[in-house]
Structure formats: C-alpha cells, structure tokens
Chains A and B, each alone.
Chain A
Amino acid sequence: MKRKLCAILLVVFIFATFSVSAFARGPVANSYHTYRTNGGENGMKLDDLIKSKDVGETKQFLATITKPVGDETTFKKSYVVCGYSDLEEISIAIAVYNASKEQYVYVSEDSILDVSGIFSKEIPLHLGANKLKIVAFPKSEINNLKPGVNAQVTYFTVTVLKESVKDKIIQGVLKVKDSINSLFGN
C-alpha cells in the first residue's frame, strides 16, 4: 500500500515538475512587457525622457510649435508656448533645464497638457537663459516613448532680460540721437 502511495505521489511530482514551465508562461510574458515599458532599450518613460539631456531634437511630426520659433529674448517673466496638432490624443510636456541638477525639470506642476487642435500654454521663466524642452507624444504611449518614432523633442532658449536693460537701450538711443542733433543741428 505504501509502495502504491509513493508511486502515485511520484507521478504527481513528476507531472507537476514538467508542468511548471507551462504555468510560468504568463508571468514570463508580463515581465517582458514590464521590461519594455520600464526604460528598456525599446522605449522610455516620459519622466526619463524629460530629465535626459542627451536626447537629440526630432522633427515636429506630432505637434507644430508656432511659438517660440527659435531662440528668443524677452523682458517678461512668463512666456506662452503656442502650436497645434492635427492628431488626436496628443499631449505635450514642457521642461526647463536646471543647471544645479544637471537635468531638465517640468516647468510647473501642470506642464503636461492635451494639445489636439490649437494649443497655448503660459509658463513661468527665470531671469537669464531658459533652456526649454518640449516633448510631444501620444497619451496612450506615455510609458513607451521613442524619440523620433512616437515622441517629438524640441529645444528652445528664451532669455529673460532685466527691465533696466530696456531702459539702458532707450537711453543709448536718446544719446545717439542727441549726438547726431548736436552735430548736424535739428
């Protein structure tokens, strides 16, 4: 009787041992997916893409940025990023380079926005050069972003000057005008 019981248990054990791989199939597939979406070689999370300073600029194939058009200078402490997208379910994220952290950081808490159609977003700026990074991506692929494939990356620099600089420019123009007037008369 004992022999029979041991044989049955052995059969069950052998059966279970050979079946393990079959039970393991699901979890293997899931771990592969996790690998893909957690910063594996095939895609990046938005946060990682934003932080990175090594990602190059791509073409504007998801959203067209109409403003800024290049590097700009302003006296205002805020700036409005403008553009449009003809695609559905597109978002953009706006970041600024933080020199102390040596990485890009989101410009504000609400710097990710849906942009299907016309969009504009007012962002705060600090004095000096503001290196901006604008990432456009399909909302559904936020955790699997590949620059140039499903993520658009654009860089701009907006420099904020002190108001006193504006006054100095005006004063300079006035001095030049006075000099010309004194030389040639009115």
Chain B
Amino acid sequence: MYRINREKLKTYIIFILVLTSLIQVGILWGYQEHGLPTNFLQAIFKPSELSQSEIDRMAREEFFQPYRLVLSSGDLAHWIIGSGDAMYGKVWNGSKEYIKSAILSKPQVSTESWDELVTRKGIFLDFKLNVDVNLMKWLLGMGSSSGSGEGLTGIHKVFIVPRDGITSSLDTVYILDGETVYKYIVNVNSEDLNRETFERYLVELSEDAKYDTKKYWVIKEFDPMGRLSFSYSPDIPCVVEMPLERHYFTLSYSIPGKMESMDENELANLILANEQYSFDRTIGMDDTVIFKNQNSIYKVYSDGLMEYTYISSTGHSDKEDIGKAFSNAYGFISRLGKSLIPKNKIYLTNVNIKGGVSSFEFTFNYMVDNVPVFIEYNTLFGEKDKINDAIVIEADSRRVLSCRWLMRDIQKNGKKVKYNVGFNSIDKRVLDKTTPGVGDISVAYILTSTGEKELDPSWVIESTAGNRNILPLLRTEGE
C-alpha cells in the first residue's frame, strides 16, 4: 500500500514539473513574440483575422495609385482625374492591364521622345518616383521575382495609346524609366480602357462643365519650341485657358488627439495593443515615451513624431523580396494608422534599395482631396534633423526594421476657397532660379514646424534634383 502511494506521489510531481515547464516555455515564447503565454494556443485555435493574400491585396489597393492620372485629347486638353471621379477606377484598372502587358513584352527603342509624346492623345500616368520593376510587378499581382521587365530600371511615367483601328491595329505603351523611353506594342484591348471607352471619357470630360476645372495644358504646349529661359520637364501641367481658378479646402492639422496627452498607458494600448505587457516603459528627455523590449524600441515624442527600431541582430536572407517588404511596411503603417490617424490618405513617394538589396526603404506622404501635403518640418532637435516626408519605413521580407513617422491628424475645414492657379501667376524669377531644371509644378499643402495649425494651398516648384521652392497661391478677388 505504502509503495503504491509513493509511486502516485512521483507521478504527481512529474506531472506538476511537466506543467510548470510548459508554462515556463509559454512565458518565454510569449516574451519573444510580444504576447501572452497563451498566444501560441490562440494561434493554433483562433483563425487569423486577415490572410497574407488579403493583406497584400489591401496594400496594393490602398498604397498603389499614380500621383497623376491624365486623359489627353491631343488637342491642348489634358484632364487630371482624381480618385473621386466616376471614371477613375476604370481608367486606373485598365491602365494596370496595359502596364502588365508591357512588362511582359519585349521593348522596342522608341523613336519618339517624351517631349513629343506628352502633347499627344492618350492616357498618361505619373508615379512621381521611378518605381522598381520588381515592386511594380508585385503591385500588379505578377509575382515580384518573375523574369520580365527587360531593360527597365524602373517605371516613372507611362503613356498609353489604345488602338484606334485607323493608324494602329494594336495598343501602344510607352514607359519612361527616368531617362529612356521604351515602346511596347501590346494586345490588351481592356474593357475598362479600350479606344471606345477612352473616346467616351474624352467626350464626357470635354462636354461636362464640372471637368472644366480639371483641364490643363502641359508646359510643352505653352512653349513648343523651347524658348522659355529655364529648362523643364515637358509634361508639367499648367493652367493657361479659362477658367484660371480652382477650388481648394483649407486644412487644419494637429497631433492626433490620442497621442497628445502623452499618457504612456494609452500610448501603449494604441501602439502596442496586446503586446504592451512585454515592453518596458520609460520616460526620456523632453517627455519622450519609450517602449522597449529585447527586440524593438518605440519612441514617441511630444511633437507627434514616432520612431521605431528593430534592434535584434538577425541576419538578412540572401535574396530579399521587395513585394514582401512592401507588404510588411503596409501592415505596420496600417496597424498604427488605423489606431491613430484613420482618416489620412497615404501615398508612396519613394523607394530606396539599401545595402545591396538587403532591405528596402519606402517613403510615404499624406494626400488630402487629391492634393499632396509636403512636409518641411524641423524636429525638436532643430533644423539639423529636418523631416521632408511623413513616413520613412525600412523593411525586409520578414519584418519592419525601422520607421520614422510624423503623425498628424489632417482635417478639411469648411467650404472650398477659390484660388488663381493660372500659369502666368507664377513668379518667373523663381522658375529661372530653379536648377538644374524645373521638374514639377503643383499645388500642395506645406506642413511646417511653425505654430500655424491651418494650411492654405501653395505653389510648389520642384527641381529635377528634388529641391522645392514654395510660393504663395493667391485667392481670387472676393474670396
């Protein structure tokens, strides 16, 4: 009897030891993965809210759009179509089909220069950056590592000419990759954007008065023989014909309300969510809130700047996938954006390949009502630490490695106000001084570090080297 009880006791002890070791493993597991010890059980039994393919689809839909989408009649009329316009979705979807076909086709050397193309009839897309071909393939759902895109260093601007059946029996796509124009003869005939629908859109744009304020020339049409005293990119839109006025909102902006209090518990809840208990919290200089664990550091500054760094020293894989990196960046921005600034629209403005394709740095900025918000912001550390982009995020195929994000909650104020955007209202002396040449002229909001909490639109003259000159945009009389 005594012997049996002793054996039972041993069994109980072993059972307890096994159980406690499991809990210990769970605790360590949770610490590594920033979750509760039971998270690994949740991962097994609770299905994930979003599948990876769903996240990829959302990344493509939300962050992949051209900076400018233009329909041109070839007769001194170009309409910049915004995401709010009824035809936008179809034109953009159709354009993606053409770009996809072009990437899969063999390029020809284009005998036409970009200067000639910009005044012709067709669909023009400006991505504002030279999008890496592999990223473009991933964004188009082609698989970023598929072997195509011969010769292209990137895709900066695209000009699409759907077949007209008179001068051409196939569709033509021109791609400008920064310097060289490539010509592709493709067979797309997209339902969303074939010649018939394209012509129908042009008729709608020219006949419906609501599109009069979306009508532009390009600077090459203002100056066909290149007589202007400054050099320029030929596709810069300019308003020359009446009406010379356009309506814009005044914006107000602030540090997101949830961040402003700098309450560390609330910040932890917003930024770290259910991982918050695995992070140590400290208050640094200038009331900076710091969350740290052995893998990551989040720093939240009182001016709404947030920095994230992945500090664990794990190596990179041999061949990084830019598509997966973009998806990781999207996941990070989407998670924090939804918590802190859910209404802000964000668009991709630059991609840098770092350290011999070991990681990728993506730059994003805000856009309101199809008008970009440019940033000229000095941080709390002064002008030496100047910020020119809302989000700079570095990621690889596995995770986000770092992020610097200037959080701003941007709202539209009241009614739109009328401004004179005539090309002749721009001070030519500024254009003359823009070296090496004028790359773009746009109306944008400028977010600075001054105490001003309202933003009126301004002229932004960008040089081909990326420098900006900002000029006031004048309201029309009576406004």
Instruction: Give chain A's interface residues, CB within 8 Å of chain B.
Output: 64, 66-67, 69, 75-76, 80, 82, 84, 86, 117-120, 122, 170, 173-174, 177
CB proximity to A under 8 Å, residues B414-430 = 422-424, 426-429
CB atoms of A174 and B166 under 8 A apart: yes
B132-140, B218-226, B249-257, B461-469 - interface stretch: B218-226
1/0 contact trace for B201-224 toward A, CB 8 Å?
000000000000000000001111
CB atoms of A82 and B223 under 8 A apart: yes
CA–CA, A112 and B289, complex, Å: 64
CB atoms of A69 and B224 under 8 A apart: yes
Q: How many inter-chain contacts with C-beta < 8 Å in the A-B complex?
A: 52
CA–CA, A184 and B225, complex, Å: 40
Chain B residue at minimal CB-CB distance from A85? B428
Extra contacts, 10 of them, besides A117-B428, A118-B424, A122-B242 (Cβ < 8 A), are A66-B223, A67-B223, A76-B76, A80-B76, A80-B240, A82-B222, A84-B229, A86-B229, A86-B428, A120-B424
Residue among A64, A69, A80, A82 with the highest chain B CB neighbour number at 10 A: A82
Instruction: Give chain B's interface residues, CB within 8 Å of chain A.
Output: 75-76, 166-167, 221-225, 227-229, 240-242, 422-424, 426-429, 431
Chain A residue at minimal CB-CB distance from B230? A84
CA–CA, A177 and B424, complex, Å: 44
Chain A residue at minimal CB-CB distance from B169? A186
CB atoms of B224 and A66 under 8 A apart: yes
CB atoms of A120 and B228 under 8 A apart: no
CB atoms of A173 and B166 under 8 A apart: yes
CB atoms of B166 and A64 under 8 A apart: no
Given contacts A86-B428, A118-B424, A118-B426, whether A66 and B228 have CB atoms under 8 Å apart is yes
CB atoms of B241 and A80 under 8 A apart: yes
CB atoms of B166 and A67 under 8 A apart: no
Given contacts A84-B229, A117-B428, whether A177 and B166 have CB atoms under 8 Å apart is yes
CA–CA, A70 and B75, complex, Å: 17
Q: Which residues of B contact A120 (CB under 8 A)?
A: 222, 240, 422-424
CB atoms of A118 and B423 under 8 A apart: yes
CB atoms of A119 and B241 under 8 A apart: no
CA–CA, A75 and B75, complex, Å: 10
CA–CA, A122 and B422, complex, Å: 12
Q: Which residues of A contact B431 (CB under 8 A)?
A: 118
CB atoms of B229 and A117 under 8 A apart: no
Chain A residue at minimal CB-CB distance from B222? A82
Q: Which residues of B contact A174 (CB under 8 A)?
A: 166
8 A-B contacts (beta carbon < 8 Å): A64-B227, A66-B224, A82-B240, A117-B424, A117-B429, A118-B424, A118-B428, A119-B424
Residue among B75, B422, B424 with the highest chain A CB neighbour number at 10 A: B424
Given contacts A118-B423, A120-B423, A120-B424, whether A69 and B166 have CB atoms under 8 Å apart is no
A-B CB proximity, top 10 nearest: A117-B428, A66-B223, A118-B424, A69-B225, A120-B240, A66-B227, A82-B222, A118-B428, A119-B424, A69-B224
Q: Which residues of B contact A80 (CB under 8 A)?
A: 76, 240-241
Q: Which residues of B contact A84 (CB under 8 A)?
A: 228-229, 428
